[in-house]
Every structure is written in structure tokens, then in C-alpha cells.
Structure 1
Amino acid sequence: MENKQLNGAISLFDELRTDAKLGKSKHFNASRRKMGLHNWVGIPVVLINVFIGTVIVALLSDGAANKWVSIGSAILAFAAASLSALQTFFNFHKAAEGHSSVGNRYLGISRQCKKIIRKHEDIPYSAEDLWKEAEIIQSKYLAINTEAEAFPTNDNDLNKARTALEITPFVLEKPKVEQSA
């Protein structure tokens, strides 16, 4: 009877490990995507502002203001302000940091599960102790899920995580029992 209880607990650890690895990959994918957006919006803002600053200095030192240069500078200034507003509104950098934090917490869950399974191979837990560990890790996993709600991912992040995920289930070997002569 106890062996059946152990198989259930080991299966739960393996499911938690798999789900945590998927969550980790999904959030790391989202973090990379958000940092990419941060760069795609942020770099043009910097470049446009440098260009506008250069044009303004040239106009002020030249004295003769070219109408088209002034109009172009105004359009670029509007574009830079708009991109800067988008960057502030969506806060890509903070979102990327949040996704990385959640991903790292999922990674911790995955490693805890793996450690307990491996430790159980060397020093077998009782069914009761193994289930206690499973419940502790599961509640940590559920807490991370709650935190992750503030950092939604998209279907593409999930699909990339699924295709990149290579998980081999643990095969628990039966503990070797030493026979005394």
C-alpha cells in the first residue's frame, strides 16, 4: 500500500516539476519579448532626441531657420515624445523584470522537486513525509501562479516554451535492500 502512495507523490513531484519548467520557460520568453520591445521603442527615442538636439543647436547657431527643417524637427519631436509615452505607459522594462523574477521562482520549484526525487532514491522518505514535502512545494507553486497573474504571457510564449521543453520523467528505482548474512 505504501508503494502506491509513494508513486502518487512521485508523480505529483514530476507534474509540479514539469509545470514549473513550462512556467519558467514561458515567463523567460515573455521577459525577452518585453526587453525587445523596450529596446525597439527606447533606442529610436534616444536617436531622435539626439538628432533633434543637433538640429536645434544648428538652427540656433545658423540664425536662418529653414522651414522644412523646423517642420521635420517638430514631427520628430512628436514621434520621440509619443514613443517615450508608449515606453512609460507599457513599462516594458519593469514587465521584463517581473517575468524574469517569476521564471526564476518557477525554476526554484523545479529544482526542489528534482532534489526531493533524487534524495528519495538515496534516502527513502516515508509516504507521509514525502506527501508533506509535496504539499509544501505545491503551495509554493500555487503562490507563484498567483504572483504570475500580474505578468501575463501570450500564446506565442507558451508555444515556444512547449516546443523547447525537453522533460524526461523520472524513473524511480527501488531502493536496494542490504541482506545480512
Structure 2
Amino acid sequence: MVKNLFSTAEDYRHYAQKKSNAHYRMSEKAKSKHNFLGIPVAASTTIVGTTIFTTLNSTSQNLYVQIGIGLLSLSAAVLAALQTFFNFGDVATQHKQAAASYEAVRHELDIFLLRHGALCEDEPLDAPLKELREIAAELDDIVKKAPSVPDSVYDSAQTRVATRPIHRL
């Protein structure tokens, strides 16, 4: 029974690390997408704003310049709408918070394994089982609150935990 307890704790530890890594990866992807849309929005609106003032003061208004400014203005509006709709900044923050939560649980599991690692087969398991149940409940709570991660990102998330188990006495 003691062996199963530690095997389960190691499995939870591996899961928490992998989920943390996957959420950190998703956070970085969302941040990149936010910048991918945000930089062109800022640049195009700045160009449109300054160009409109120069064309208003100009005596010769070129039709091609006006069409170009109109298209640039339209593209800036579309990009701004997409940035607002997809809300990549908030998505990045949610993934980063989930990753940090999983990392905190992994630390709890490290301490759990170190604290109870020297248990013998004849020692009572009530306290360690209760503690492991509470940690499992924390993992369940994180899953309920965290944004989803595509299977491909989760499957590709690397983890050091599998090759670096907690050594017990």
C-alpha cells in the first residue's frame, strides 16, 4: 500500500509538471499572438492619423493616397476588432496563472514525498492519504478553472520530473 501511495504521488507530480509546462507554453503563444496583432494596430493607426492631417493640409489630394489611407484605416479597425475579440492578453494571463498553480501543487507533492518517503509498510497511512486526497482536490480545482490546452501542446510538453523522481530514504 505504501508503494502505491508514493507511485500515485509521483504520477500526480509528473502530471502537475507537464500541465504547468503546457500552460506556460500556451501563455507564450497567446502573448505572441497579442503582439502579432497589437503592433500592426498601433503602427497603422499612427500612420493613418498622421497621414490624414497631412492630406487635409495639402492642396493637392492624390486619389491613390486617399484610397491607401482608407484601406489602412480599415485594416487597422479590423485588426483592433480581432485583438479585442480574441483577447490574447487575458488568455496569456490565465494560462500563466494556471501554470503557476500547477507548479505550486508540484512543490507540495515534492514536500509530501520527502516528508512521507521513509514510511514503512506497518505504519498507519491515514494522515498521508488524507494529505494526498487534499492535493488531488487542489489539482481538480485547477483543472476546473484553467483554460484548456490542446492535446498536441500537452503531449509535446517536456518535463524533467519523469527523469528526476524524489529520492526516498
When normalised by structure 2's length, the TM-score is 0.91
Match of 2:143 in 1: 145
Conserved? CA contact 2:2–2:119, under 8 Å: no
CA-CA distance at 1:88 after TM superposition: 0.5
**Unaligned segments of structure 2, at least 5 residues:** none
Identity %: 26
Conserved? CA contact 2:118–2:168, under 8 Å: no
Match of 1:179 in 2: none
Q: What are the Cα deviations for residues 9-55 of structure 1, in whole angstroms up to 9, with x where unaligned?
A: 11111111100001100111000000000000000000001111111
Distance in 2 between residues matched to 1:121 and 1:14, nearest whole Å: 11
Distance in 1 between residues matched to 2:68 and 2:31, nearest whole Å: 29
Distance in 2 between residues matched to 1:78 and 1:26, nearest whole Å: 36
2:160 maps to a residue whose letter is: E
Match of 1:31 in 2: 27
CA-CA distance at 1:92 after TM superposition: 0.3
Runs of 4+ in structure 1 deviating by more than 3 angstroms, as ranges, are: 121-126
Match of 1:8 in 2: 4
Distance in 1 between residues matched to 2:102 and 2:138, nearest whole Å: 9
Q: What secondary structure sits across from 1:153 in the alignment?
A: coil
1:44 maps to a residue whose letter is: P
Query: Is structure 2 residue 163 aligned with structure 1 residue 165?
Result: no
1:89 maps to a residue whose letter is: F
Q: What are the Cα deviations for residues 44-74 of structure 1, in whole angstroms up to 9, with x where unaligned?
A: 0000011111111111121322111110001
Distance in 1 between residues matched to 2:152 and 2:35, nearest whole Å: 20
Conserved? CA contact 1:14–1:169, under 8 Å: yes
Query: Which of 84, 89, 112 is the aligned partner of 2:85?
Result: 89
